[in-house]
Each structure stands twice: as C-alpha cells, then as structure tokens.
Structure 1
C-alpha cells in the first residue's frame, strides 16, 4: 500500500491558493466516480477545470471540452497551473513527461497525484523541473480540511438529520 506522505499544511494551502486552473487526467463523466466528483468540486470552488480522458475526448464535461491528453490542451485554453492525476501509479511517469513537454511555459506549477497514487521517479522529474509535487492526497479533501469546510464530524453534507 502507498505510504501517507507528509506535506505541511502551509505548503498544501499555498499550492491550492496559487492554482487557478487544473487539468484532471483520468476524469470520468460518470457522476458517481471520484474523479468526476473532485473535478466538479474544484470547478465549484472557482478553479478552471480542464478534463483529460482519451476515451471521452471531444465531449463536453463541466463546461469544457474533454481533451485526449495534456498535449491536446490548446493554448487558447489558457494556463494550466496544476495537473491532478487519477491514473495508476505505474502510468504516472509518461503523464508527467507529457506535462513537462507541453505545459512548461504555460503556468504549470504542480503535479498532484490522487490518493493511492505515488510514483517517485515521476515526482523526481517534476521536482527537477521546478514543480511542486503532491502524492497520495486529494485536492478536494485537502481544500475542505485547510479552508474550513470539514466540520467536527469529518464532513459537511449540509444536511441535518436525527436518523441513525
């Protein structure tokens, strides 16, 4: 199992504050999938979300055209500050290579690997290029935790109920 890596709250908060656009690699149009839920949440929080999934390229998701790959994000889509990866750990390195090749010079600041995703070689490449790297974490969960949206019970559903 992937170990829980330590990142300071200050560092994570800084990453989430600086990023204004996120390419979500592996996002699903299925509303019950975690990747969709995270992308939708980030959009609701004001991030520009660029969906990336070769199986759904050309479709519209969350108001944006789904791109087949990071290389297919056209300049008119603007800067891409963060790449959030919903792929298996062994698939991360080529994604990071593609991000470094096609998104450097377009505002890229961070490579974020979702919960359960860790690739040390890919992280080393990204860090060598001057990027921040977060592994085995979820930006939605971290945003909620760091910006006061998680409540005493651990979550904020907005629903009050006395049912057990």
Structure 2
C-alpha cells in the first residue's frame, strides 16, 4: 500500500539528500522544471539534468537517462507526464536512488507502488521547491 510522507518526512528526505537528478529538465528558463532546478542549485544541492535532447542545461552536463549517471543519486525529481513515469521509476530503482519525487500534477500509483516495493521513498503530486521553501528553517 502506498504511503505518502507527511511534511515531517519531507524534512528528513530534503535534509539527507545531496544529489538530485531532475528528469525532464527543460533548457527554457520560463519552464517550471528550470525554475525548480535553479532553486535547488541555489540552496546547495548538486543537480544532474536528465534530458536526452540536450547536451547541457544551466551550465551543467545533461545526461540522456538515469543509467548514464555515474554519481550516487538521492532524489529522482520527475517532470514528465504521469503516463511516462513508470520507466523512470524503474530506472531510479536500478541506479539505487533513495527517493522518487513526482512533481505537482504528476500522479502514477503503479509507479509509486513499484518504487515503494523496492524500498524507495515516494513523494507524489508535490513541488520539491515549495516543500523545501516551507521547510527552509530546518531543511538543507
């Protein structure tokens, strides 16, 4: 059964994380994924852009997929359609990520159940930037 963490649990996720892969990161500054990634960089996280159509975003090397990353990833932050999430979550399990975070508006219970069954924490339909800002006094 899927368990969606409480705000207290978000704090634990956000304070323990160092490396965040942003899947579906757009090079366009006006897109939410770009804004969120810039924020995450600004508060001290190491961000790994994942977008197969780009070589670099925000001055960072862009990776075509999660399995192309050599770094250990704590959070896989997903900016893709709900219907496209399951393969990303499967890849997150394969690379040993700790958490999958589906951005606001993204809900895929099958993917969430898969992640949870494989020991990953799941956050769904929430914005990591907003949650971090709300927890800022205690997070990161």
Structure 1 and Structure 2 fold alike (TM over 0.5)? yes
Match of 1:158 in 2: none
In the TM superposition, 1:14-33 aligns within 5 A as 14-33=12-31
Match of 1:65 in 2: 61
CA–CA distance in 1 between the matches of 2:29 and 2:9?
Answer: 30
Write the deviation string for residues 8-57 of structure 1: whole angstroms up to 9, x where unpaired: 2110111110110100000001011000000010011100000001111x
Distance in 1 (alpha carbons) for counterparts of 2:5 and 2:74? 19
Give TM-score, length-normalised by structure 2: 0.91
* Alignment TM-score, normalising by the size of structure 1: 0.78
SS of the residue 2:13 aligns to: helix
- Indicate the SS of the match to 1:41: helix
Count of matched residue pairs: 135
* SS of the residue 1:84 aligns to: strand
Q: Is 2:119 the partner of 1:142?
A: no
Q: In structure 1, what is the Cα distance between the partners aligned to 2:99 and 2:4? A: 16
1:12 aligns with 2:1: no
CA distance in 1, matches of 2:109, 2:57: 31
Q: Does the aligned pair in 1 maintain the 2:75–2:99 contact within 8 Å?
A: yes
SS in 1 for 2:26: coil
Name the SS of the counterpart of 1:99 in structure 2.
Answer: helix
Matched with 1:160 is none
Distance 1:140 1:126 in 2: 22
> Which of the residues 87, 102, 123 maps onto 2:112?
123
Query: Unaligned 5+ residue runs, structure 1?
Result: 149-164
Helix, strand or coil at the partner of 1:23: strand
Could you tell me which of 85, 98, 104 is aligned with 1:92?
85
**What do you get for the CA RMSD once the two structures are aligned?**
1.4
SS at match of 1:97: helix
Q: Alignment partner of 2:53: what SS?
A: helix
Q: Following TM superposition, by how much is the alpha carbon of 1:6 offset from its aligned partner in structure 2, in angstroms?
A: 5.8
Larger RCO, structure (CA 8 Å, separation 6 or more): 2
